[in-house]
Structure 1
Amino acid sequence: MGRVTLAPPLNDTVGDLDGPEDRGAAEDLGTRPGPAVPDPVFGATDTVRGWVVAAIVTIVAAVTRFWDLGTPTDQGTPVFDEKHYVPQAWQVLTGGNWIEDNPGYGLVVHPPVGKWLIALGEGMFGYTPVGWRFAAAVVGTAMVLIVFRLTRRLTRSTPIGAVAAVFMICDGVTFVQSRVGMLDIFQIFFVLGAIAALVADRDQTRARMHRVWMEGRIHDSPWGPRLGFRWWRFTAAVLLGLALATKWSGIYFVVFFLALSIGFDIANRKAYHVQRPWLGTLRRDVVPAGFSLSVTPVLVYLASFAPWFAGETSVYRYSVGNQLGYDGAFSWVPGAWRSLWYYESGILKFHEGLTNSAGNHHPWESKPWTWPMGLRPMLYAVQNGPDQCGGGPCVRVEMLVGTPAMWWLAFPMLLWGLWQWLIRRDWRYATVMVGYAASFLPWFLNLDRQMYFFYATAMAPFLIMGLALCIGDLVGADGRWARFTQHRRMIGVGLASIYLGLVVTNFIWLWPILTGQPLSLHMWNMQMWLPSWR
């Protein structure tokens, strides 16, 4: 990551630097004239090998996600929160209007996109366990591919991308969520796609800026050039809208990713020595970014309610004239929009009432400070017998457990990542840390709320990519550590290989309680590593 291109001399200063590649450029500048700028090389250059590895890890992910997908069930019916979303998705599929309008299925408290995806699987395989889990398995498999390609782009290393893919395959949280008919996996799929699109947008804008630099036009304006329409950023906005239209917590990612995108823009203009990079970002980038990453997700969210607007039996579709009057301060607002507001405010009120102080308690609830290490997992399904294991009864259990070999290293990874971002100004760690923060920190705003470990599903991909970046630093994969001797590099590769094997072994050990396979009571007790797991 240290290669640079030197333009004809414009001044005698190196200027503001952005990340380790630019610092390496400054250190290598020596007596050569002119400021250094990053070399516009984005991602690994071994294209063919990259796609071969991508195919391999995706196939392995598909095998693990689809194996025995119909197990476990509650005597043939959905387990845990599948009991909410699976019948709602069936109503979406069979009701004729792609909406949920049957009160018998319970209060409709989440937007429709995730249930549409579940309904697609049910349409192909019927109201069966495979049917209501098929879409989740497809999305869970695709997430492994996204993590591989994104990490490979971040590190410019196909092997480190492959390490991240193996971590993703072996992560107990995303694995289990890929095998149940719940909404979280769909939201995180869209979030991952959005962050990948933002990284692609960063690279694309740098390529445009580099072209302007090489043409000698970088100082035509003290604010730097206009960068044109940014399709990758627009793609990220649409995906964020789909995440928001799956679960409301997608709004956190809208806020954090908007800040990340603006940070990329500031660093971009500084890296190419724009005279006034902050003001240039404010004038050239903030308004388009705000429209793309703030307005577009809301528009996508509202568009997801098109069937609701069109339906005659939609929940609260005709609140005006029933629950609401025709007059009042907002009588000028069309009735359909007022009805939607009434519906959405009712959902907000419902969620606000799910607090411990209001008497809402669950034996498997947890608070966010326990999530980074997965100290309080979730029990999704349990069934005793009728199998016999070692002459005694068997137990079948499915638990949402983060693979300890990875999750128990969350805090060291976070400390290293924050140091690399804030002290060494490494944009790759900034990307991971912002994503992790968006999936974690907002839950501290209302600790009285009833919460569960499956809310931490969004943290898993960013934990995994952070660990992969750490592995890259350990082995000097990006070439930044010139002081690494061949001997030291071999030691790093050896330690990384041992750790990778430990992660895979840990995943294999947990396999029975991740998939609901029969276990003897003795083996079940051996699987419970912490008292808080029970």
Structure 2
Amino acid sequence: MKHPPMFLRAEFGALPLPKSPAARWGCYGPLVVMLVAFASRLWRLGAIKTLVFDETYYVKDAYGLIKRGYEVQWPKEYDDIFISGHLTLPTEGAFVVHPSVGKWLIGLGIELLGNNPWGWRLAVCLAGSICVFLVGRIVWHLFGNGKMATLASVLMALDGVQIALSRTAILDILLELFILLGVVFLVRDQLSYRPKLLTALLRADETRRTLGLRAKRPDLRLAPHEIAPTQAANLMTSNQPEKVPAAANPARYRSLAVAIPQETKKTWSFSPLPRSFRKSPQETKKAQRKGSLLGPVFWWRPWLFAAGIAWGLATSVKWSGLYVVAVFGIFVFIRELSARWATEPYWISSSVLTGGIPAFLNLVPITAVVYVGSWLGWFLNPNGWGHTGGSVWRDWLEYHRQILNFHTTLVSDHPYKASPWGWLLQLRPTSFYYQKVAGNCGKDQCIQTVTSLGNPLLWWFGALALVVVIMGSLVFLDWRAGLVLAGYFATFGPWMIYSNRTIFTFYTVVISPFVVLAVIYTLGVMMGQWRICSDKNWVGRYNLVPRSFPVNQVQIYLGLFIVALIFLVAVYFFPIWTGMTMPQHQFYWRMWLSSWI
């Protein structure tokens, strides 16, 4: 069978996206928002002439990489000389605690535009703008709703932590870029791999029943595709889902529902699995020879492989990318379990041996190869820090041991040190820059400030939306909510382990996309754009889902009102995200909480 059946999108993400004006919205909408976001981030990008916050480390490291091929040891208090351009480039290698991919990208901007504020920040400005587009594409692939995809990009463009870090040459926005790119590839993997897997699972299921191999699971003998074609045809016209035989949907077959909502018809629909699932005698004998107890195996998953490359690059920016690989790898395995649980007699063994191992081989080795490759500059330059003249691999491993020791023991006082318990509410944002400047501010002092404060309403509503995501994932088993929740675990969860370390709220720039996804998921439910897929009510009982459900106009207006408020708050806080000159008292107007100062 060349084309797999149309499985329930909300459960498997396997429904082809509609080729309609909505599809154009799903691409061009986020693209337009990205261009507007790029313009807003590019505006006055070089207005602050000094190295801001941790730019003092990463910009100089990037300059050394471009000129020497490795990070060099700069003299202390060298910022003013570096900015002036009258510098002497050292040759001694420097110990650095982050891999070099992010600094290479910053260095490319310096090589292109020169050693000036525009050159320092060009790479992060581009990366932050691309992230706006990628979030919209994730929403499009998850939900097939072009307008909500565009709205997701808008919310991403309006977040303060995104704006501030898109204008500051530090690594976190580059880490976010590769994380999101990997998530896009992961969603594409699920959209392409899931139908093939389910088709193969049902074929293997029928083969086993033909060979009498299903005796150990008699409760699962009746599958959805065993409904008589004539009965299924009647269901398609009767519009009475209650007529679906209860026996056709045993509990473990709820995830194999094949009914889909029609995008162009406000009706119920039911599609039986085609007869082409039944194998020919020759195919049956072949399956018998090979053995089918462990189910189908797919050794090549190109989109998952691409995700491994992206997350390898993320890990090559900061080690935080390792958590992303681990968490989303577990997510992929859980998705494998959910599919094989419905049909495989030995579903755990099948998930591990024929599902998990191939997925691991597609994801993890390429991640490791990309990470090791990111150290090529260090390997090729014996002047790099840590070279002893002995085994280069032993030196490399010792380097990593010292990096790990630094990351696990760093404890120091800092006025903007922030516990991760307050990150999701933005209780203690990081001040990157604060300077009194000359200007026409009347009797008040003029200042310029850059604060990495997330859009307060977006983040506060995001905290409420997280509850909806948790319910959608754990209660209703909606895989889309599960993906968003996995994003929280990957980008926020690990920091709870290191809450005693010196860490900062601006790390939430990589959490921000998943906050936006949580808000979009909740708004979509509230405004009737989609509904949480409940196995109990819509999949497990009837094998059917409605195209939509009645929505009170108040819900729609409430959703639009929330979005409008987020936009107005973004306009209000924009000056302190971009370093605009303002009277000092206006800065304090924007400090709604004393902990923000």
Sort the TM-score into its range (normalised by shorter chain): 0.7 to 0.9
Correspondence for 1:102: 73
2:121 is the alignment partner of 1:138:
no
2:257 is the alignment partner of 1:216:
no
Return the letter of the residue paired with 1:179: R
Question: Aligned match of 1:262 in 333, 343, 346?
Answer: 333
**Residues 1:173 and 1:224: Cα distance change in structure 2 (over 3 Å):** same
Correspondence for 2:26: 50
- Once the two structures are TM-superposed, the CA of residue 223 in structure 1 deviates from its matched residue by 3.3
Correspondence for 2:402: 346
Correspondence for 1:330: none
Cα RMSD between the aligned structures? 2.3
Question: Aligned match of 1:474 in 511, 516, 526?
Answer: 526
- Once the two structures are TM-superposed, the CA of residue 458 in structure 1 deviates from its matched residue by 1.3
2:309 is the alignment partner of 1:238:
yes
Identity percentage over the alignment?
Answer: 29
Give secondary structure in 2 for the equivalent of 1:392.
coil
- Once the two structures are TM-superposed, the CA of residue 140 in structure 1 deviates from its matched residue by 0.7
**Residues 1:19 and 1:318: Cα distance change in structure 2 (over 3 Å):** farther
Give secondary structure in 2 for the equivalent of 1:395.
strand
Q: TM-score, normalised by structure 1?
A: 0.85
- Once the two structures are TM-superposed, the CA of residue 452 in structure 1 deviates from its matched residue by 0.7
Return the letter of the residue paired with 2:71: E
Return the letter of the residue paired with 1:227: F
Give secondary structure in 2 for the equivalent of 1:388.
coil
Correspondence for 1:323: none
Correspondence for 2:323: 252
Contact 1:20 1:426 in 2 (8 A): no
- Listed as ranges, the matches of 1:49-198 within 5 Å are 49-72=25-48, 76-95=49-68, 98-102=69-73, 104=75, 107-198=95-186
**Residues 1:243 and 1:485: Cα distance change in structure 2 (over 3 Å):** closer
Give secondary structure in 2 for the equivalent of 1:121.
helix
User: Mean Cα displacement is larger for which, 383-392 or 370-379?
Assistant: 383-392
Unaligned runs of 5+ in 1: 7-17, 23-37, 321-334
Correspondence for 1:527: 590
Q: Deviations over 1:145-194 (max 9, x none)?
A: 11001011111211111111111000111111111100011111111111
Q: Distance in 2 between matches of 1:409 and 1:114?
A: 31
**Residues 1:485 and 1:232: Cα distance change in structure 2 (over 3 Å):** closer
Contact 2:341 2:347 in 1 (8 A): yes
- Once the two structures are TM-superposed, the CA of residue 493 in structure 1 deviates from its matched residue by 2.1
Contact 2:26 2:145 in 1 (8 A): no
- Once the two structures are TM-superposed, the CA of residue 210 in structure 1 deviates from its matched residue by 5.0
Q: Distance in 2 between matches of 1:408 and 1:189?
A: 24
- Listed as ranges, the matches of 1:239-318 within 5 Å are 239-270=310-341, 273-318=343-388
- Once the two structures are TM-superposed, the CA of residue 238 in structure 1 deviates from its matched residue by 0.9
- Listed as ranges, the matches of 1:399-418 within 5 Å are 399-418=451-470
Correspondence for 2:414: 362
Q: Deviations over 1:373-402 (max 9, x none)?
A: 110000000110211224432111100001
**Residues 1:419 and 1:369: Cα distance change in structure 2 (over 3 Å):** same
Return the letter of the residue paired with 2:121: R
Equivalent residues, number: 480
Contact 1:193 1:239 in 2 (8 A): yes
**Residues 1:217 and 1:71: Cα distance change in structure 2 (over 3 Å):** farther
Contact 1:435 1:462 in 2 (8 A): yes
2:543 is the alignment partner of 1:514:
no
Give secondary structure in 1 for the equivalent of 2:424.
coil
Question: Aligned match of 1:385 in 432, 437, 440?
Answer: 437
2:170 is the alignment partner of 1:201:
no
Contact 1:197 1:232 in 2 (8 A): yes
Q: Distance in 2 between matches of 1:526 and 1:40?
A: 49
Contact 1:171 1:403 in 2 (8 A): yes
Unaligned runs of 5+ in 2: 77-93, 203-273, 534-544
Return the letter of the residue paired with 2:432: Y
Correspondence for 2:229: none
Q: TM-score, normalised by structure 2?
A: 0.76
2:568 is the alignment partner of 1:501:
no
Q: Distance in 1 between matches of 2:589 and 2:67?
A: 45
